[in-house]
Amino acid sequence: MSQPVTNGRIYSRIAGTGSYLPDKVLTNDDLCRIVETSDEWIQTRTGIRERHMAAEGQTSGDLGYRAALRAMEAAGVTAADLDMIVVGTTTPDIVFPSTSCLIQARLGAEGCMAMDVNAACSGFIYALTVADKFIRSGDARTALVIGTETLTRITDWTDRTTCVLFGDGAGAVVLKADSQAGILSTHLHADGSKKELLWNPVGVSAGFKPHQTNNGSRILMKGGEVFKYAVKALDAVVDEALNANQLDKHDLDWLVPHQANLRIIEATAKRLDMSMDQVVVTVDRHGNTSSASVPMALDEAVRDGRIQRGQLLLLEAFGGGFTWGSVLIRY
């Protein structure tokens, strides 16, 4: 790792963003040929019109690597500059080595720390928090944080309540140590007692369970109960972030939420008294990409010019576990 910064207070600032989507697009009409559903049914309940699917042989590491290259180019850093790589994913390439190590090798970032974080859809928020703490402590100066998923690999295509939701993609940011405030605070929570409301029952030490698809690996969800819990948890963690920084909800310029369901996003925006014009929405085109959704939405809004330097951003996510969290950023 680089030598720690020793003079003054240290913050981590976003120096660059990047994202990557697989080429293949799966529309709602395509899904109508797979399961009994309709475009109207899907859009009314979720806001999703289409999602992207990784090609055969294309892994979470492949997607994350491409997003990382774009973020590093935007930040003006090379592999030699990286002190750490943190990857949020719930669909790693293999059991081990970690997807972060596989991406590190492809980047040529030899020797820097690399780790995966699995917090389901909150994975990027958790990973960003880890990197922020290392930079604030002075143990790192430049960090690459990635959220990458191939959720279509663990989707049960016979379950019309879940198969319409998920897509593949990756997003990344480069954080740099700075004397100017960037990430103001991070707030993380979990409740493992609710695991069976949103989970994948397959694992290594728990064993593989036979099923008609994906060797038993599939996403199971009780959507109504997840919706109710998610709205309450996100309300609380949003208030927590604002109160910790003695800010009012009207101080926010942008909400960059996890893209799970348009109704959840709209509920959070209403609670913040924010116009939907101040909310970055990609769920209609990306579906739920779990830990990739927040960094992909952030990258899109940065690159199209909506998000500007100096603006106040609130990032938030809720996922299986349950896990949830928020990050308040002066971009």
The predicted model scores a pTM of: 0.95
Catalytic residue among 28, 118, 261, 288: 288
Q: CA triplet 233, 318, 135: central angle to 5 degrees? A: 105
CA 88 to chain centre: 7
Mean pLDDT, rounded, for 191-198: 96
> Is 28 within a domain?
yes
CATH number for 156? 3.40.47.10
Q: Is the domain of 176 the same as that of 51?
A: yes
Q: What is the pLDDT of residue 7?
A: 46
User: 5 Cβ partners below 8 Å, 6+ apart?
Assistant: 138, 141, 177
Mean pLDDT, rounded, for 183-206: 94
The yes-or-no verdict on residue 3 having pLDDT over 90 is no
The yes-or-no verdict on residue 35 having pLDDT over 60 is yes
Q: What is the pLDDT of residue 240?
A: 98
The yes-or-no verdict on residue 214 having pLDDT over 70 is no
CA 139 to chain centre: 24
Q: Where residue 206 falls among pLDDT bands split at 50, 70, 90? A: confident
Q: What is the pLDDT of residue 234?
A: 96
Ranking 100-109, 126-135, 193-202, 237-246 by mean pLDDT, the lowest is: 193-202
Q: What is the pLDDT of residue 5?
A: 42
Ranking 5-9, 123-127, 247-251 by mean pLDDT, the lowest is: 5-9
Show the domain range for 261: 184-330
Q: Where residue 198 falls among pLDDT bands split at 50, 70, 90? A: very high
User: 97 Cβ partners below 8 Å, 6+ apart?
Assistant: none
Catalytic residue among 52, 121, 187, 200: 121
pLDDT in tens, 290-310: 999 999 999 999 999 999 999
For 279, the token pair is 């909310």
Q: What is the pLDDT of residue 210?
A: 52
Q: What is the pLDDT of residue 215?
A: 57
The yes-or-no verdict on residue 166 having pLDDT over 50 is yes
Please answer whether residues 190 and 321 qualify as being in contact, where contact means their C-beta atoms are separated by less than 8 angstroms: yes
The yes-or-no verdict on residue 4 having pLDDT over 50 is no
Q: What is the total count of domains within the chain?
A: 2
Of 118, 148, 180, the position where a domain reaches its end is: 180
Q: What is the pLDDT of residue 209?
A: 57
- Spatial separation of the C-alpha atoms in residues 182 and 16, rounded to whole Å: 13
Q: What is the pLDDT of residue 2?
A: 43
Ranking 192-206, 228-242, 273-287 by mean pLDDT, the lowest is: 192-206
> Is 263 within a domain?
yes
Q: Is the domain of 140 the same as that of 228?
A: no
Is residue 288 flagged as an active site residue?
A: yes
The yes-or-no verdict on residue 139 having pLDDT over 60 is yes
- Spatial separation of the C-alpha atoms in residues 320 and 233, rounded to whole Å: 13
Q: Is the domain of 167 the same as that of 190?
A: no
The yes-or-no verdict on residue 211 having pLDDT over 60 is no
Nearest to 255 by CA among 314, 297, 182: 314
Catalytic residue among 112, 118, 163, 258: 258
Is residue 258 flagged as an active site residue?
A: yes
> Is 149 within a domain?
yes
Q: What is the mean pLDDT of the chain?
A: 95
Of 131, 149, 180, the position where a domain reaches its end is: 180
Q: Is the domain of 55 the same as that of 28?
A: yes
User: What is the crossing angle of helices 123-137 and 293-303, to 10°?
Assistant: 70
Q: In DSSP terms, which residues pair with 50 in a beta bridge?
A: 27
Q: What is the pLDDT of residue 183?
A: 98
Q: What is the pLDDT of residue 212?
A: 44
Is residue 32 flagged as an active site residue?
A: no
Mean pLDDT, rounded, for 111-117: 98
> Is 2 within a domain?
no
SS (H, E, C) the chain: CCCCCCCCCCEEEEEEEEEECCCEEEEHHHHHCCCCCCHHHHHHHHCCCEEEECCCCCCHHHHHHHHHHHHHHHHCCCHHHCCEEEEECCCCCCCCCCHHHHHHHHHCCCCCEEEEECCHHHHHHHHHHHHHHHHHHCCCCEEEEEEEEEHHHHCCCCCCCCCCCECEEEEEEEEEEECCCCEEEEEEEECHHHHHHEECCCCCCCCCCCCCCHHHCCCEECHHHHHHHHHHHHHHHHHHHHHHCCCCHHHCCEEEECCCCHHHHHHHHHHCCCCHHHECCCHHHHCECHHHHHHHHHHHHHHCCCCCCCCEEEEEEEECCCEEEEEEEEC
For 85, the token pair is 């790589």
Mean pLDDT, rounded, for 34-61: 97
